[in-house]
Amino acid sequence: MALGVAGSNPVRRPLKIAIVGATGLVGRKILEVLEERLWKENPEIIPLASKRSEGKFVEFLGKKIEVIPIEYGIPNVDFAIFSAGSDVARTYAPLFVEKGAVVIDNSSAFRLDPNVPLVVPEVNPEEAFKHRGIISNPNCSTIQMVVFLKPLLSAFGIEEVFVATYQAVSGAGMRGIIALNEEEKGGIFDETPFPTRIYRNVIPQIGEFSEGYSTEEWKMIRETKKILKSDVKVYPTTVRVPVEIGHSEAITVILRSSPSLSDVYDVLEKQEGLKVLRDGFATPVDVEDKDFVVASRIRFSPENPRALSAWVVADNLRKGAATNAVQILQLLIGGLG
């Protein structure tokens, strides 16, 4: 793979941005977030997808733009935001890099590559500038967890993280939402991405199992260590629930010290991208279309002054995917607000 010079930032205006996987659920969300955050830049958007999407259009800042099959060639762009799965990323991301673009990839293809930064802008922004052409966007459940863990790690140290997730069907793309809708109507969706019924059910499998852990769980174990640059032990159980948008996480952290709850609030409330509720709680429905992570039900165990629990919720399509990718782009062009 030919990679560019570390930290090279495009400065050309107007920005040219390719969206690879533009017709997917996250692809469309990326266009939405780009409109909200980069409308002043008035970037030129080149929506790409597979041949199946030929003839489709997307909208950006009031203009209809035709979707181009990626098989037809690699355009010259400043940035390419990929949301098209690992295979497409492995095939096409290096081709964009060869042509001088910076790739921000939503798939897991390059996340654990030591030459590829894995970035959550509120957590490890400095990493983004070390890129050699590709920057990886972490897994959705990992992103929202590290926004909560980072300030705790810096202030108090973390030994262990016990986490159980409640993940929305939209994490499996449009087919996930269709499966839930069809099952609710009493039907069956042949292309369901789930291993069994999700309507009025919960499924403790996201991805495939290896050595007892699912792909999603391995992502949480490994990506967390890389982003936090810490050998923190992560004990995950990841579970699909019949929710449309918004992942929730029941987290218990074993800290290395035993601060007061008031100290914990002070530290968490200073964390960028994190909203802290001292009373009540947030549910998935509450965070839909929000770009921040919400931590609520923050409490110390009555049995252990180093065991801190919380309920952490975020919009998996926005902060868990599209927003985080666009924030990385903003970081590189110096425009992260």
Which residues lie near its own copies (CB under 8 A)?
A: 160, 162, 164, 166, 184, 196-197, 200-205, 211-213, 221, 233-235, 237, 239, 241-244, 248, 250, 252, 281, 283-285, 296-304, 307, 309, 311
Q: How far is the CB of 262 from its own copies (least distance, A)?
A: 13
CB 76 within 8 A of CB 17: no
Three-state secondary structure call for residue 125: helix
Nearest partner of 311 among 259, 251, 264, 265, judged by Cα: 251
Q: How far is the CB of 261 from its own copies (least distance, A)?
A: 8
Non-local CB neighbours of 301 within 8 Å, separated by 6+ positions: 252, 307, 308, 309
Taking the alpha carbons at both ends of the chain, their separation in whole angstroms is 33
Residue 202 CA to residue 238 CA, distance in Å, equals: 10
Active site residue 131: no
Nearer to its own copies, 131 or 318 (CB): 318
Active site residue 140: yes
Q: How far is the CB of 213 from its own copies (least distance, A)?
A: 7
- How far lies 213's CA from each of 85, 86, 106, 193, 306, in Å? 21, 20, 22, 18, 27
Beta bridge partners of residue 79, listed in sequence order: 17, 102
Nearer to its own copies, 7 or 204 (CB): 204
Active-site entry in 103, 140, 147, 158: 140
Nearer to its own copies, 95 or 254 (CB): 254
Q: How far is the CB of 165 from its own copies (least distance, A)?
A: 9
Nearer to its own copies, 95 or 239 (CB): 239
Active-site entry in 247, 306, 318, 319: 247
Residue 117 CA to residue 54 CA, distance in Å, equals: 32
Q: How far is the CB of 180 from its own copies (least distance, A)?
A: 8
Phi, psi of 151 (to 5 degrees): -65, -35
Nearer to its own copies, 32 or 217 (CB): 217
- Catalytic sites, residue numbers: 140, 247
